Structure 1
Amino acid sequence: MLMATLGERAAGTDVPDKARLLLDEARAAARRNHDAARFEVLRMADALRDSGIPVVLMKGSAYLMALLPPLPGRNIGDLDIMVPRESLADTERALKGAGWLSVKPRGTYDDAYYRQWMHELPPLAHEMRGGVIDLHHTILPLTARLTPRPERIFEHAVRPAALAPGGETDALPDNIFVMSPPEMLLHSATHLAYDGDFQGGARNLWDIDRLVRHFAKAEGFWDELTIAAAAHDLTVPLARALRLAEALYETPSPPSVRGRGDIVDRLALRKLRGHDEYGQGAAPGAQFLLFLRGHWLRMPPLMLARHLWTKWRARRGEGRREAPQNAR
């Protein structure tokens, strides 16, 4: 997952020929990925150009369009964007008119669950290119125990060029933004330390390391970050992400912001470092406990039980329908 990033950092250094070949292939693949991701961003921007809806690019697409330090070698997956919740229907309609269609049929349990409880609508995949847009209205599920303030993100959002070196980047419509530096870091930290089970944690922590080292050069950044974290109720996941980044990459941060470690940190580091000689996970106990923790934080116990029961019944029904076909 970090092969292309390693290749970018090793460019111009003396490495064995076989390693050089692997690194160069990874770098080339990452650059093709960036070209495809940029194309998808520009097509989305065209689709929403005249809507008047503010659109905030998130994660990899934000790094790409603002030319931020996590970018070199970073693979960019789905196009993540955020709009005000009251603009979801208009945004979805405009994107569907431009060829992005929902992957969850309307009226199904999954579609209803996304729309009622999640921080995003069901994914939208382009009917021709297959590119996927994840359309968010906040950064955590509505069932989560923490309650960030999406309206603050829009209030503090900036144009990508405002963060790009020299203020130069691809031309985008006036309604396309990225998060402010404190909230961009907060979102990355929350995605790592609260919203999931530390899957892909090494890459996500590398994003955090790069963002910290870049944004912390600005005077007053840490004060702005702690104020934003308190306003969004995200002080705890921010502190955890900074501790883990320090443990893996020696990411500098004030001790007063990092706080003290706990058992979850130890489990996360065990998972992050627990790989065998083939790169496969070798810490199943830690992974299972973090999996349970991730679901526990995302929704109340009764809702979680009902959700898992419904999903199990649906999968069991699918298995029964497939069995007679396989027997033919």
Structure 2
Amino acid sequence: MVRAVSDARILARALADPGSVAEFDADGWTALLTMARAEQLIGTLAMRLDGLQMPDGVKAILADARAAAEHGRRAALWEAEMARRALSAVDCPVILLKGTAFVAAGLSAGQGRSIGDLDILVPRASLDAVEAALLAAGWEWVKPDPYDDVYYRRWMHELPPLIHRDRDRMIDVHHTILPLTARITPDAAALIDGSMALENGLRTLSHNGMLVHAAAHLFADGDLAGGLRNLWDIRCLVDEFGTDGQDAEAQRHGLSREVARSLRLVDALFAEGTARGADRLYIRRITARDGWGRPTRPITRLAFYVRSHWLRMPPAMLARHLWTKWRKG
């Protein structure tokens, strides 16, 4: 029998210690599976629990999740190949990011991972050529609103999102890893220079660069939605490659605090560490799920949502942006 579920720490425990599910009753399995779906970790969980004893119904659900993750992996790699072909005539490095990078490089972080849009990083000087090549190859704008278009191009770390007219798959073209309005300015050129080539000519960030990017995305940009998945990515990267050179890489990009926090939270959630001070608030937000996978702790969620906007831009710009978006409905 598993004790009463209070939050998503049972999911973190199951990922780190698959044998812990042996004590689960029906309510425990329900909580675990619904949380994993909500956190987009069901495929990862299915891979981690493969081969263990479990109820037949759970076994079928996880088998389906593994099949879906494999389909997602193939689709992500195919979409990366389509982008490679579209950009083959553009003289610039094309660097895969996030989940597609993990599976393309065969990393443990990619095992069962949910993958959404294709994210790539290119030099800012090459944006016009990359944009033109993608449009010529069938991608189209998702955001036709002129304000959104100007906002992305002037202030964001990426072009407005594009979707392919036939395959219905989105691509996000980054030129750095944080918005230009953010309080932290990573060295995008250093990330690109340190990237590693794949056999097909595409590239990925260095292993330390991947960890820096994951920490930046989690703590210096967003509201921690999907934070458990990002922390699992970091845990896998650390387990596979260690942390040699990580301090210097984080310092180079002004992200020492964010990387250090990510490592502490990984230790607290997936190992034997104990969260202290402000780290406890981050864990409270990241694990805010009930036994049906529903979001909980609305005040904490709201606080981190407000924080995410505060980090993205100065107060006057934020007020103007929110006012404009509100007027547009």
TM-score by length of 1: 0.85
1:194-273 pair list within 5 angstroms? 194-216=220-242, 221-222=243-244, 224-250=245-271, 261-263=276-278, 265-273=279-287
The answer to whether 1:288 aligns with 2:302 is yes
1:191 aligns with 2:217: yes
Q: Is the counterpart of residue 132 in structure 1 residue 146 in structure 2?
A: no
> How far does the alpha carbon of each residue in 1:121-145 deviate from its partner, in whole angstroms, 9 at most, with x for none?
1001001111100000000000000
Give how far 1:266 is off. 2.1
User: How far did 1:267 drift?
Assistant: 2.1
Residues 251, 204 of structure 1: CA spacing in aligned structure 2 closer, same or farther, 3 A cutoff? Answer: farther
Per the alignment, residue 53 of structure 1 pairs with 92
Deviation at 1:261, TM superposition (A): 4.7
8 A Cα contact 1:100 1:125, kept in partner: yes
Task: Say if 2:211 is the partner of 1:172.
Answer: no
Please give the secondary structure, in 2, of the residue aligned with 1:135: strand
Measure the CA separation in 2 of the matches of 1:273 and 1:83. Answer: 34
Report the RMSD for the aligned CA atoms in angstroms. Answer: 1.6
Residue from 305, 312, 321 that aligns with 1:298:
312
CA contact (8 A) 2:221 2:308 kept: yes
CA contact (8 A) 1:119 1:137 kept: yes
Residue 291 of structure 2: which of 274, 277, 291 is its match?
A: 277
Runs of 4+ in 1 over 4 A off after TM superposition: none
Distance, in Å, in 1 between the alignment partners of 2:227 and 2:266 is 10
Instruction: Spell out the pairing of 1:144-155 with structure 2 (5 A cutoff).
Output: 144-155=182-193
Q: Contact 1:209–1:251 (CA<8 Å) still a contact in 2?
A: no
Given that 1:145 and 1:298 are in contact with CA atoms closer than 8 Å, whether structure 2 keeps it comes out as yes
- Report how far residue 228 of structure 1 moved: 1.0
What number of residue pairs does the alignment pair up?
290
Q: Is residue 80 from structure 1 mapped to residue 119 from structure 2 by the alignment?
A: yes
TM-score, L = length of structure 2:
0.85
- Give the unaligned 5+ runs of structure 1: 161-170, 316-328
Q: In the alignment, does 2:328 pair up with 1:314?
A: yes
Q: C-alpha displacement at 1:19, in angstroms?
A: 0.6
The whole-number CA distance in structure 2 between the counterparts of 1:243 and 1:59 is 21
Q: Deviations over 1:111-162 (max 9, x none)?
A: 10000000001001001111100000000000000010001011111113xx
1:129 and 1:92 mapped to 2: Cα distance? Answer: 18
The one-letter code sitting in structure 1 at the alignment partner of 2:258 is P
Amino acid at match of 1:80: D
1:89 to partner: Cα distance = 0.5
What is the DSSP-based 3-state SS (H/G/I as helix, E as strand, rest coil) of the residue aligned with 1:70? helix
Which amino acid in structure 1 is aligned with residue 165 of structure 2?
Answer: E
Q: Is the 8 A contact 1:245 1:251 kept in 2?
A: no
1:208 aligned partner, one-letter code: I
Which residue identity lines up with residue 104 of structure 2 in the other structure?
Answer: M
1:41 lines up with 2:80 in the alignment: yes
Distance between the aligned counterparts of 1:204 and 1:12, measured in 2?
25
Secondary structure, counterpart of 1:288 in structure 2? helix
What is the alpha-carbon distance in structure 2 between the residues aligned to residue 179 and residue 185 of structure 1? 9
How much has 1:51 moved relative to structure 2? 1.4
Identity of aligned residues (%): 47
Q: Any conservation in 2 of the 1:56–1:81 contact (CA below 8 Å)?
A: yes
Contact 1:240 1:261 in 2 (8 A): no
Q: By how many angstroms is 1:251 displaced?
A: 8.1
Indicate if the aligned counterparts of 1:212 and 1:251 stay in contact, CA closer than 8 A: no
CA distance in 2: counterparts of 1:215 and 1:268, whole angstroms? 25
Bigger RCO (CA 8 Å, 6+ sep):
2
SS in structure 1 at match of 2:110: coil
User: Aligned AA for 1:202?
Assistant: L
SS at match of 1:81: strand
